[in-house]
Structure 1
Amino acid sequence: MRLQDVRAEKHLSQEQLARMAGLNVRTIQRIERGQSASLETRKSLAAA
């Protein structure tokens, strides 16, 4: 499942998800555009 789909399913904005994961909004935007994410970023997203 794509990050954007999961985020929408949980009714979160990019800003909310970034804050919850401790990431930059631009990181969320890059991932949603299809760029790869580091293992640490994936872990942060999974924890959020």
Structure 2
Amino acid sequence: MLQVTDIQYIRQEVNRKGCSYSDVARRTNVDYRTVKKYADMEKFISL
């Protein structure tokens, strides 16, 4: 399970900076499908 800060970083890199899923996946050591899942979420609510 990813930490909230990791998810926020993924969303920032993909959605705001325009980095590719695979580039972010390499830098975070997470599968690109996981990066895509969190980056494509419309709403992300941290508890």
Give the TM-score taking structure 2 as reference length. 0.51
Residue in 1 that maps onto 2:38: 31
Residue in 2 that maps onto 1:5: 15
How many corresponding residue pairs? 33
Going by fraction, where is helix more abundant, 1 or 2? 1
7 and 24 in structure 1: CA distance in 2 versus 1, 3 angstrom threshold = farther
- The unaligned stretches of length 5 or more in structure 2 are 1-7
CA contact (8 A) 1:7 1:13 kept: no
Residue 17 of structure 1 deviates from its aligned partner by: 0.6
CA contact (8 A) 1:18 1:24 kept: yes
Q: Would you identify which runs of 4 or more consecutive aligned residues in structure 1 move more than 4 Å?
A: none
Give the TM-score taking structure 1 as reference length. 0.50
- The unaligned stretches of length 5 or more in structure 1 are 37-48
**How far apart in 2 are the matches of 1:7 and 1:25?**
17
